[in-house]
Amino acid sequence: MWRRVATAALALGAGAGAHAIATSEDPARTLKICRHLPPRLLRDSVAAAAIAFDYQYSLWGLQPDSPAWLTAKHDAHLRSANRLQELCFRNGGIYIKLGQHIAQLEYVLPQEYVQTMRESMLKRCPVSSYEDVRGVFKKEIGELPETVFAEFDPVPIASASLAQVHAATTHDGKKVAVKVQHDHLLDTSVIDIATVDLVVNALNYIFPTFDYRWLVDEIRESAPKELDFLCEAQNSERCLVNFRKLSPHIANSICTPKVYWNLSTSRILTMEYIDAKEVTDVKGIKDLGIRPVDVSNLVNKAFAEMIFKHGFVHCDPHAANMMIRPLPQDSKKWFVLGSKRPQLVLLDHGLYKELDHATRINYASLWKALLRADQNGIKEYSIKLGAGEDLHALFAGVLTMRPWERVIDPSFGHLVLDGNNTDRSEMQMYANLYFPQISELLRRLPNVILLMLKTNDCLRAVNHALVGGSTPESFEIIARASSEAVFEAKRMEKRFFLYRFIIWLEELLNELHLFGMKLWLHYQQPRRILAVAG
């Protein structure tokens, strides 16, 4: 086994390096980049071999699903997660992005991996020295930051996997946030993707049920876009335009920082500085006079509109990328129950996914069926989205985090997650039980749907921090946005009067269903308020 892993690592590394140099327009630069390959390749090979050996040795001779086997498997998961975490931090760059992605795949990957990555990857990102920052400015703009700006704080206010943010003041007195890409990251990203590919393929070779090669495909596609800050700036502006044109009813409640194009390049992004609280800072949000449940509902509305109506979706909505402040135009208005309305500030627009019309409507139709507990609809649209006839029930479970019996329960609150330990234990049990089938499902699904799963997981984590689970209101929000998208598509396709009349009847029945949901919500609301009051 050791020889196979070592041979595969060396062959892949040498082949990738030779191919890169031979096909490069700048062989000298590519050769310089390839200097980063040997240490990364060595670390990856050792980590992959250690993880593989740990699982084989720890589970050797134990009866599957026995108490001893389950304990040994848990311990192996935990040790391997720590090894992978250390590998990500030592290599940095794209590896940090991989760790952050793993941190959001709750109930899809073993919980030991998710929790280990979640506790560290969003808080321990690398920090570039100020000399490195000055070097990036010199390469990109031709001047140093202290010349470009009237004031530039050399200590970053935040750091992420690909960049860090500094506070600065322009020469005309405006306070800005300057996002500066980590030096050499653009050069090493090609090598990082190749070596990440090695780790995942090596583990899949040794453990065929561990098939997460789709993670590498997703990173390979998204990394170049995330490394181009001008692309991020365009996404930011397009996102805001979509809300103003397609969702004007909540457009004022959504904000993205203004971009200073004259002070931005592909590796430096200068934006308006916005003073706000992190979306999961419950105490800070309450101190602003805003209710956490209102924040949860606004986040759900924003992403329901993006997914089902805009078809242009921010796919990295973890806590560090969303902030909350009071709605600016409400500063002199009265507030319901003395609370202020929130405004959602969306940050880090590097990772977006565009849903084509058919995918968007099929996805909306699937959620409409899920909320109606419509078994035939769930099956039909799961198949259309790539899950297959045999795994449609599992797909529904992964989307909703509910077992099939709850998914097809006709009661209004059948999909509500309370976030309690019983819910979590139940879903972890199902994740462990159906691990091979989940791997197969993820292999089948197109990348755009995989990113929707990741987005759902991020939003669940935010809702859990804000209100302890999913609110009943969140499903009313999803029900309305998804059904509106479906009916709008039907009206565009069928223009004859009789069809229009039938669609009108369907919409009427849908409104009755939503009214029933509202009544149920009204019944649940007192308990929900008591639950979140503390």
Catalytic machinery residues? 316
Angle ∠(51,52,57) on CA atoms, nearest 5: 100
Sheet strands (E) in 83-233:
151-152, 158-159, 163-169, 175-181
How far apart are the C-alpha atoms of 171 and 148, rounded to whole Å?
8
Ramachandran area for residue 396 (φ above 0: left; ψ -120 to 50: alpha; else beta):
alpha
How far apart are the C-alpha atoms of 450 and 150, rounded to whole Å?
44
How far apart are the C-alpha atoms of 48 and 67, rounded to whole Å?
26
How far apart are the C-alpha atoms of 307 and 452, rounded to whole Å?
8
Contact 299, 477 (CB under 8 A): no
Which amino acid is located at 193 in the chain?
I
How far apart are the C-alpha atoms of 165 and 163, rounded to whole Å?
7
How far apart are the C-alpha atoms of 66 and 57, rounded to whole Å?
16
How far apart are the C-alpha atoms of 367 and 479, rounded to whole Å?
7
- Residue with tokens 């309450």, as numbered in its chain: 286
How far apart are the C-alpha atoms of 312 and 323, rounded to whole Å?
20
DSSP string, 347-389: -----EEEPPHHHHHHHHHHHHHHHHT-HHHHHHHHHHTT--G
Contact 392, 378 (CB under 8 A): yes
- Residue with tokens 């929900």, as numbered in its chain: 528
How far apart are the C-alpha atoms of 471 and 288, rounded to whole Å?
21
Tell me 312's DSSP state.
E
Question: What six digits make up the tokens of 350?
Answer: 């590097």
Q: Beta strands 254-255 and 342-346: pairing type?
A: parallel
Question: What six digits make up the tokens of 424?
Answer: 């979590």
* Residue 515 dihedral angles phi and psi, to the nearest 5°: -65, -40
The closest of 158, 40, 152 to 89, measured between CA atoms, is 40
Question: What six digits make up the tokens of 530?
Answer: 């008591």
Contact 73, 65 (CB under 8 A): no
Helices and strands in the chain, H and E counts: 22, 11
Question: What six digits make up the tokens of 264?
Answer: 């931005």
